[in-house]
DNA sequence: CGAAATCATGAAATCGTTTTCATATTCAGA
DNA sequence: TCTGAATATGAAAACGATTTCATGATTTCG
């Protein structure tokens, strides 16, 4: 593999001149430019990435943390982020935290060792106070999740509103016995806010939430099915279920259907995200503008990297949208 | 940010000794080790990734090329690959080619500029003759796709068998008028082999394939719906459709159902992959052992990186499995 | 007892690129 | 005509880590 030294030798010039040509610096004659270009071509030379990174103190790489890439919500986020990153000449390192604090901490080392220029968190496992010190090593942008104390750009959705409009819809459809289904998110502000919105809508309607109508640990289609089995066992069952994901909602609808129940007659179900699955399964769902938040997060990330300024808190909050279908 | 020089100064030792301690080389007294560790801790020192990469000629990063991460087949592959890579201390760079030759070539530069140690191709857009020269820069492993001429490890599935067993199943269910639905893959061996298997099964049964029963350009749920609309317009319609993806199959089933057709009475549909969607939509499907091929591909990649040997052709071919549900 | 091997530590070189500083020449304006 | 700015090119330093080579001390074995 040729180095800049080889190119200089073949061109009969110094490495400095070759570097000037490569980087399009001024004050190089056209003749010298020609000599360098010919030598580069003949030697099939490309600059070494590691050397460049060391000298320029830049990696042109961004790490994106998602819990699991198989979750369509996160794969959609990453799809748009990678596209935006590639447009600007950045690579995207995929980091799956699997909802684990330790895994998240391990990946934070990427910033500390300067393996990436910045990182985007789409879910947050550790307390912000554990993450904040890493800002000394590079910029962090939070997307989808939220933190009151984070002095960084945050692009997120009004999840209180999301929880609220979804629940209000159920109430407007005539349901008075509403169950709540979610993952086990201890540090997730998304989950917290949705529940706040859910309870707010219930309170406004003078409705009560029973403890046994709360179903946790639901992330996937399989979890949705398990949730239905648990609901089925209740003597006093909810008429409708608010869920945090189309996949979970789909699992519930499928299991209910398999058990001979009619949706929404026997059980109304509302999902989140408006994935292709939602349309296929005729799910009422709260749509999130995934493409918008992904693009904005990546733009803010690249802007933070380039500006090299002290990060400041900046909130970009977007509304949610209810899509009504047959499941409610 | 502290450097090894700072640590050496604080410890009262040379950079060589500090490096020896960091890398656990022999012949350093316990006393000196203690001094270095204390200094590292006090300065909050971690080694700089760019400097290490340059000196060691290693990046500990692998690029994985997928057409689109939102396709559940590819997101599942990447999910497993990232997990395996992280276990061995490697980072995974996600590259979306979007089925474009130029995009694939752009990403191949990652290998040439030594930004990654190796790359895994899960789909191939360019001719292998265009890709092969990049082997000079680092190892390449092909996963899911196939190429006769590639002198690299390939982990793939018997797609001729997949096309065959799916089609044979339709025939065994009594269908004699079979349509074929696929994406527009010009250089995809997967698509080619499935069709070979499909035609083989037809031929064995003495059945004919009509040109107007061939539906192209289908990758997504939406494409599935469009495919159904096209099929509906035919005067002589197929009784069953072989598709290349559960999402396409689901779109077809959904559109058919919305049009009042009964599946499989009016139209039988078979999908591929056995995604959660397949169970939800009761699709008969050809299941692919995604986790196995993903894990094996990543293991072969890391083995290739570590061995630094000339790549040799190695085929790992796995069988497919038919899952029968209500759509056929 | 002496030579060879092992132990312990550090200076210099290395990896490959880019920038800084230096030197020489040419040009433009006062 | 002279001076300062612009132009053109190259050597050395820098980025930060790791390895190679060197030196001296200690231990081991024939």
Q: Measured between alpha carbons, how far is B156 from A185 in angstroms, rounded to an integer? A: 37
Verify if strand D has an atom below 7 Å from the CB of A26. Answer: yes
- Shortest Cα–Cα distance, A31 to chain B (Å): 27
State the ipTM, two decimals.
Answer: 0.92
Residue A112 with chain B: CB contacts under 8 Å:
46
Query: For A92-147, how does the pLDDT look when each residue is reduced to its tens digit (9 = 90+)?
Result: 999 999 999 999 999 999 999 999 999 999 999 999 999 999 999 999 999 999 99
* Chain A, window 230-269: residues with a beta carbon less than 8 angstroms from a chain B beta carbon: 247, 250-251, 254
The answer to whether the Cβ–Cβ distance between A251 and B280 falls below 8 Å is yes
| B96 shares contact with chain A (CB less than 8 Å) | yes
What pLDDT is stored for residue A37 in this prediction? 97
- Decide if B61 contacts A60 (C-beta within 8 A): no
User: Do A4-47 and A159-287 share a fold?
Assistant: no
Sheet of strand A268-273, all strands in order from the earlier edge strand to the far edge: A214-215, A178-181, A240-242, A268-273, A284-287, A321-323
The answer to whether residues A178 and A238 touch, using CB atoms and an 8 Å cutoff, is yes
CATH of domain A159-287: 3.40.50.2300
CB atoms within 10 A of CB B60: 18
Q: Using CB atoms, pick whichever of A1, A50, A70 lies closest to residue B53.
A: A50
pLDDT tens-place string over residues A136-189:
999 999 999 999 999 999 999 999 999 999 999 999 999 999 999 998 877 788
User: What nucleotides of chain C have any atom within 7 angstroms of a protein Cβ?
Assistant: 7-12, 14-20
User: CB contact, 8 Å: B76 with chain A?
Assistant: yes
The Cα A274–Cα A310 span in angstroms is: 37
Distance B26 CA to C4 C1' (A): 20
pLDDT in the model for residue A187: 74
Q: Are A73 and A183 in contact (CB under 8 A)?
A: no
pLDDT of residue B309: 83
The list of chain B residues with pLDDT below 50 reads: none
Instruction: Report how many helices (DSSP H) and strands (DSSP E) chain B contains, helices first.
Output: 13, 12
B153-157, strands of its sheet edge to edge? A314-318, A153-157, A140-143, A118-121, A61-66, A91-96, B91-96, B61-66, B118-121, B140-143, B153-157, B314-318
The predicted structure's pLDDT at residue A139: 97
**Which chain B residues in 276-315 lie under 8 Å from chain A, judged by CB atoms?**
276-277, 279-281
**pLDDT attached to residue B186:** 74
Report the CATH architecture of B4-47: Orthogonal Bundle (1.10)
Inter-chain Cβ pairs, chain A and chain B, closer than 8 A: 134
In this complex, do A69 and B72 lie within 8 Å of one another by their Cβ atoms? no
Give domain limits for chain B: 4-47, 58-157+290-319, 159-287
Residues 20-39 of B with CB under 7 A from strand D: 20, 22-23, 25
**A49 CB-to-strand C distance under 7 Å:** no
Q: Which of B43, B71, B72, B115 to mutate to test the interface with A (most CBs of A within 10 A)?
A: B115
Asked if strand D contacts B47 at the CB level, meaning under 7 A, the answer is: yes
Contact between B168 and B202 under an 8 Å Cβ cutoff? The reply is no
Whether A269 contacts A257, CB under 8 Å: no
- Whether the beta carbon of A57 falls within 7 A of nucleic chain D: the reply is yes
State how far the Cα of B200 lies from the Cα of A111, in Å rounded to an integer. Answer: 54
Please list the ranges in chain A whose pLDDT falls under 70: none
Protein contacts on strand D: list nucleotides below 7 Å from a Cβ. 7-12, 14-20
Domain A58-157+290-319: assigned CATH number: 3.40.50.2300
Residue of A nearest to B138 (CA): A1
Question: Best of B74, B91, B226, B263 to disrupt the A interface by mutation (most A CBs within 10 Å)?
Answer: B91
Instruction: Decide if A94 and B96 are in contact by the 8 Å CB cutoff.
Output: no
Q: B166 at the A interface (CB within 8 A)?
A: no
Write the residue in A1, A46, A93 that is nearest to B92 by C-beta.
A93
């Amino acid at each position: 593999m040729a180095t800049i030294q080889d190119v200089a030798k073949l061109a009969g010039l110094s490495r400095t001149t070759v570097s000037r040509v490569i980087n399009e610096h001024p004050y190089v004659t056209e003749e010298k430019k020609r000599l360098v270009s010919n030598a580069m071509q003949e030697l099939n030379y490309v600059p070494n990435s590691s050397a460049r990174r060391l000298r320029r103190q830049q990696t042109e790489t961004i790490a994106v943390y998602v819990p699991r890439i198989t979750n369509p919500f996160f794969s959609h986020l990453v799809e748009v982020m990678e596209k935006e990153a590639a447009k600007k000449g950045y690579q995207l390192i995929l980091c799956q935290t699997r909802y684990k604090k330790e895994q998240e901490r391990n990946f934070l080392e990427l910033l500390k060792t300067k393996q990436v220029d910045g990182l985007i968190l789409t879910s947050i496992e550790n307390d912000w106070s554990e993450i904040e010190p890493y800002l000394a090593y590079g910029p962090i942008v939070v997307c989808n999740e939220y933190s009151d104390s984070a002095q960084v750009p945050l692009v997120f959705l009004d999840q209180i509103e999301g929880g609220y409009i979804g629940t209000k819809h159920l109430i407007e459809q005539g349901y008075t016995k509403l169950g709540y289904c979610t993952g086990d998110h201890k540090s997730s502000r998304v989950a917290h806010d949705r529940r706040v919105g859910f309870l707010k809508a219930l309170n406004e309607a003078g409705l009560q939430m029973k403890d046994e109508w709360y179903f946790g640990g639901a992330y996937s289609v399989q979890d949705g099915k398990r949730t239905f089995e648990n609901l089925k066992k209740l003597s006093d069952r909810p008429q409708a279920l608010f869920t945090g994901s189309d996949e979970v909602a789909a699992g519930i609808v499928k299991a209910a259907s398999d058990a001979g129940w009619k949706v929404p007659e026997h059980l109304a179900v509302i999902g989140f995200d408006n994935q292709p699955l939602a349309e296929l399964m005729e799910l009422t769902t709260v749509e999130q503008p995934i493409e918008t938040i992904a693009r904005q997060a990546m733009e803010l990330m690249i802007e933070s990297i380039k500006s090299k300024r002290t990060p400041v808190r900046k909130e970009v909050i977007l509304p949610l949208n209810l899509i009504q279908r047959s499941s409610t």
